[in-house]
Structure 1
Amino acid sequence: MTDDGTRSGESDAPRTAGDEGDATPERAGWFEDLAPDDTEAGAASIRDGRADAPEDWPRRAVESGFADDESDYYDKLREASVRAAREAAAERERADDQQLVHAVRAMDDAAAQANELAERVAEWAGSRDADAGTGVEYARELAARDPASPTEERLISLARRTADLADESDALREFIERETADVAPNLAAMAGPVLASRLISLAGGLESLAKKPAGTVQVLGAEDALFAHLRGRAPSPKHGVIFTHEYVRGTRPEKRGSAARTLAGKLTIAARVDHYSGERKPELDEELRRRMDQIRGRNDAGDGDGSEQTGDADGTEQEGEA
Structure 2
Amino acid sequence: MTTDDDAAGRAPGDAAGAEAAAWFAVGDDESPADRVRDGTAAAPADWPALAVESGAATDEEDYYEQLREATVEATRAAVDERERADDRQLLHAVRAMDDAERVANELAERVSEWAGTLFEDAGTGVDGCVALAERDPEGPAEERVVSLATRVADLAAEADELEAFIESRAPVAAPNLAALAGPVLAARLISLAGGLEPLAKKPSGTLQVLGAEDALFAHLRGHGSSPKHGVIYTHEYVRGTRPEDRGSASRALAGKLTIAARIDHYSGDYRPELEAELDERMQTIRARAEDDDGGADDE
Q: Confirm or deny a common fold (TM above 0.5).
A: yes
Match of 2:180 in 1: 190
Match of 1:232 in 2: 222
- Aligned pairs for 1:1-322 (under 5 A) are 32-34=20-22, 45=35, 95-297=85-287
Equivalent pair of 1:94/1:205 in contact (CA under 8 Å): no
Q: 1:235 to 1:300 in 2, by over 3 A?
A: closer
Runs (4+) of structure 1 moved beyond 4 Å?
44-49, 91-94, 298-304
**Aligned-pair CA distance for 1:131:** 3.3
**Aligned-pair CA distance for 1:302:** 10
Rg larger in structure = 1
TM (normalized to structure 1)?
Answer: 0.66
**Hey, which of these two has a bigger chunk of helix by percent?**
2
Q: What is the identity, as a one-letter code, of the residue corresponding to 1:177? A: E
Whole-Å separation in 1 of the counterparts to 2:292 and 2:217: 41
What secondary structure is seen at the aligned counterpart in 2 of 1:297? helix
Whole-Å separation in 2 of the counterparts to 1:147 and 1:130: 14
**Aligned-pair CA distance for 1:301:** 7.4
**Aligned-pair CA distance for 1:32:** 2.3
**Aligned-pair CA distance for 1:98:** 1.0
Q: Which has the higher contact order (CA 8 A, sep 6+)?
A: 1
Equivalent pair of 2:219/2:225 in contact (CA under 8 Å): yes
Equivalent pair of 1:293/1:299 in contact (CA under 8 Å): no
**Aligned-pair CA distance for 1:94:** 6.6
Whole-Å separation in 2 of the counterparts to 1:130 and 1:157: 18
Whole-Å separation in 2 of the counterparts to 1:186 and 1:93: 22
Q: Which runs of 5+ in 2 are unaligned?
A: 1-15, 24-33, 40-77, 295-299
Whole-Å separation in 1 of the counterparts to 2:107 and 2:170: 29
Whole-Å separation in 2 of the counterparts to 1:259 and 1:299: 13
Equivalent pair of 1:220/1:240 in contact (CA under 8 Å): yes
Whole-Å separation in 2 of the counterparts to 1:262 and 1:93: 32
Equivalent pair of 1:242/1:248 in contact (CA under 8 Å): yes
Whole-Å separation in 2 of the counterparts to 1:234 and 1:298: 28
Q: What is the identity, as a one-letter code, of the residue corresponding to 1:297? A: A
Q: Which runs of 5+ in 1 are unaligned?
A: 1-27, 36-43, 50-87, 305-322
**Aligned-pair CA distance for 1:93:** 8.7
Whole-Å separation in 2 of the counterparts to 1:103 and 1:45: 33
> Percent identity between the aligned chains?
70
Equivalent pair of 2:133/2:147 in contact (CA under 8 Å): yes
Whole-Å separation in 2 of the counterparts to 1:102 and 1:157: 28
Report the RMSD for the aligned CA atoms in angstroms.
3.2
Render the CA deviation track for 1:213-240: whole Å, top value 9, x for unaligned.
0000000000000000000000000000
Render the CA deviation track for 1:90-143: whole Å, top value 9, x for unaligned.
x56972211111111000000000011111111001122343210111100000
